[in-house]
């Protein structure tokens, strides 16, 4: 009796079993399934994950491997150019089908398009699916058929389209091949730092993987979601979901989050605001689809001529949380210690770098890419362009946050800054590296010169 050919499922930013269309399709064939993750840092045009994301990836892959083992399967790990690795796996396993879920950054799209064409040209089946978004970024369009640049209109169009499709359950089991291909050892990839271990504190805050994501979502929907609209801007209050990194690596999918929120959270402003935040993430991917160079170039072309004043010393002070502005410094230190930063503080810290210090937004985007566990190819550059005033539906550049007033408004009791800046009020804390009024005037003058030119 002949053995049916295997199906390769290529995992990427979809490190889960439930609501994973590629895996579900593979299981439905009844044929042997070979789950694979490829650490592709060699294909030209791809942006490798930053250091904090690599820490998350290590632990999420370990969790995924455990989930697969519970269903009688394995996770095969390989490193190298994805096209080369997949060709080798097809030859080793006799597979005639390769399935995956889509990524939407420019480098991944170019690579995947070429791989799909190459497999099909050899008579193999290659198919991709949507596991990362509520809807594909090209499915919501303006009346003219183009992309949206204003979030409110995008949100209204998404709501008019109705609820996204319901998530699908994980396969109960996955048929194994007669012989498993050789796998790399996850530890050998050295995704987790050890000399020094700057991520030592991450595990106090995060449990990567599908179970960690489900537990965090359940806890949020059982409590904080009701006060989410009123409290989410206060960094000293545990009012947010903490799901962004789980979504970035696909420990959980947005359709799962949406369905759970609609089912389990009480109707009201809290739930509605939370759903809007999910759609803000969608909006970032929508914009990335229509503007693939989002991480490199400003959407507003006139910002190509902005008179930035790059300064390694100012950039270093910002990175280390030594600016002399407590809310900014608290955020930057929280980022280094935990791999995340409260969203309100992200806006303040980013605005400070771009407007008070006149450092290019790309420098801040690159630092966040390396230090955030939730660094996402769409959300990270999208939000930096929004803060810098050069992106879609952007905050005007002339809106310059006063970091001191922001601290007073959103951290009145200083519970947040005192946690991360314990030396506040002593000689050990630095004086402000710029004067707010002078820096604001300089930023506005720079913007006016841009408009004149």
- What is the torsional sign of CA 381, 385, 387, 392? negative
Q: How many CB atoms lie within 10 A of CB 429?
A: 14
Question: Is 109 exposed, middle or buried, given 0-12, 13-18 or 19+ CB atoms closer than 10 A?
Answer: middle
User: Which candidate in 136, 272, 277, 414 is catalytic?
Assistant: 277
User: Which candidate in 361, 369, 386, 420 is catalytic?
Assistant: 361
Query: Active-site residue 420, yes or no?
Result: no
Residue 358 contacts residue 443 (beta carbons within 8 Å): yes
How do the residues of the chain divide into helix, strand and coil, expressed in percent and rounded to 5? 50, 5, 45
| Tokens (6 digits) for 357 | 């210090």
Cα separation, 124 vs 116, whole angstroms: 9
Residue 404 contacts residue 325 (beta carbons within 8 Å): yes
- In our burial notation (b when 16+ CB lie closer than 10 A, e otherwise), range 8-22 reads bbbbbbbbbbbbbbb
- DSSP assignment of 174-225 equals -PPPSSPPP---GGGG--S--TT-TTTTGGGT---SHHHHHHHHHHHHHTGG
Query: Active-site residue 277, yes or no?
Result: yes
Among 123, 173, 178, 180, smallest CA distance to 3 is for 178
Query: Active-site residue 361, yes or no?
Result: yes
Query: Active-site residue 384, yes or no?
Result: yes
| Tokens (6 digits) for 355 | 């407007």
User: Which candidate in 10, 367, 384, 386 is catalytic?
Assistant: 384
User: Which candidate in 180, 189, 198, 308 is catalytic?
Assistant: 308
With tokens 């309100």, the residue in question is: 344
Query: Active-site residue 282, yes or no?
Result: no
Half-sphere exposure of 176 (CA within 13 A, CB side): 13
Q: How many CB atoms lie within 10 A of CB 256?
A: 21
Q: How many CB atoms lie within 10 A of CB 273?
A: 14
Query: Active-site residue 336, yes or no?
Result: no
Q: Which residues contact 250 (CB under 8 A, 6 or more apart)?
A: 12, 13, 14, 15, 16, 101, 131, 132
User: Which candidate in 92, 280, 402, 414 is catalytic?
Assistant: 280
Q: Do you find a cis peptide bond into 194, omega within 30 degrees of 0?
A: no
- The residues that are catalytic are 277, 280, 308, 343, 361, 384
């Amino acid at each position: 009796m002949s053995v049916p050919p295997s199906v390769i499922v290529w995992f990427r930013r979809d490190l889960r079993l439930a609501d994973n269309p590629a895996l579900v399709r593979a299981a439905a064939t009844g044929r042997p399934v070979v789950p694979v993750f490829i650490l592709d840092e060699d294909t030209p045009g791809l942006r490798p994950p930053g250091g904090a994301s690599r820490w998350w990836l290590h632990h999420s892959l370990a969790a995924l491997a455990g989930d697969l083992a519970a269903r009688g399967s394995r996770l095969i790990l390989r490193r190298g150019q994805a096209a080369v690795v997949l060709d080798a796996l097809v030859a080793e396993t006799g597979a005639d089908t390769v399935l995956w879920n889509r990524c939407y950054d420019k480098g991944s799209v170019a690579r995947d398009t070429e791989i799909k064409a190459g497999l099909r040209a050899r008579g193999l089946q290659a198919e991709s699916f949507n596991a990362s978004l509520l809807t594909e970024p090209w499915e919501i369009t303006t009346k003219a058929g183009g992309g949206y640049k204003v979030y409110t209109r995008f949100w209204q169009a998404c709501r008019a389209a109705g609820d996204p499709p319901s998530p699908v359950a994980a396969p109960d089991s996955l048929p194994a091949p007669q012989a498993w291909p050789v796998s790399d050892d996850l530890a050998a990839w050295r995704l987790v730092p050890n000399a020094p271990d700057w991520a030592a504190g991450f595990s106090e805050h995060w449990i990567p993987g599908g179970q960690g994501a489900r537990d965090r979502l359940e806890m949020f929907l059982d409590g904080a979601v009701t006060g989410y609209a009123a409290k989410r801007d206060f960094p000293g209050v545990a009012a947010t979901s903490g799901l962004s990194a789980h979504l970035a690596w696909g420990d959980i999918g947005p359709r799962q989050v949406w369905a759970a929120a609609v089912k389990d959270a009480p109707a009201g402003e809290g739930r509605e605001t939370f759903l809007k935040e999910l759609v803000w993430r969608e909006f970032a991917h929508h914009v990335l689809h229509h503007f693939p160079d989002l991480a490199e170039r400003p959407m507003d072309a006139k910002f190509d001529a902005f008179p930035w004043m790059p300064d390694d010393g100012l950039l270093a002070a910002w990175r280390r949380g030594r600016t002399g502005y407590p809310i900014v410094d608290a955020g930057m230190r929280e980022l280094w210690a935990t791999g995340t930063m409260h969203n309100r503080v992200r806006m303040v810290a980013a605005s400070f770098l771009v407007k008070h210090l006149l450092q290019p937004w790309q420098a801040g985007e690159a630092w966040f890419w390396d230090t955030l566990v939730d660094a996402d190819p769409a959300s990270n550059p999208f939000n930096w362009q929004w803060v810098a005033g050069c992106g879609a539906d952007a905050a005007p550049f002339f809106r310059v946050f006063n970091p001191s007033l922001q601290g007073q408004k959103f951290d009145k009791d200083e519970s947040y800054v005192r946690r991360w800046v314990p030396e506040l009020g002593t000689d050990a804390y630095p004086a402000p590296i710029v004067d707010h009024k002078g820096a604001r005037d300089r930023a506005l003058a720079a913007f006016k010169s841009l408009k004149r030119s």
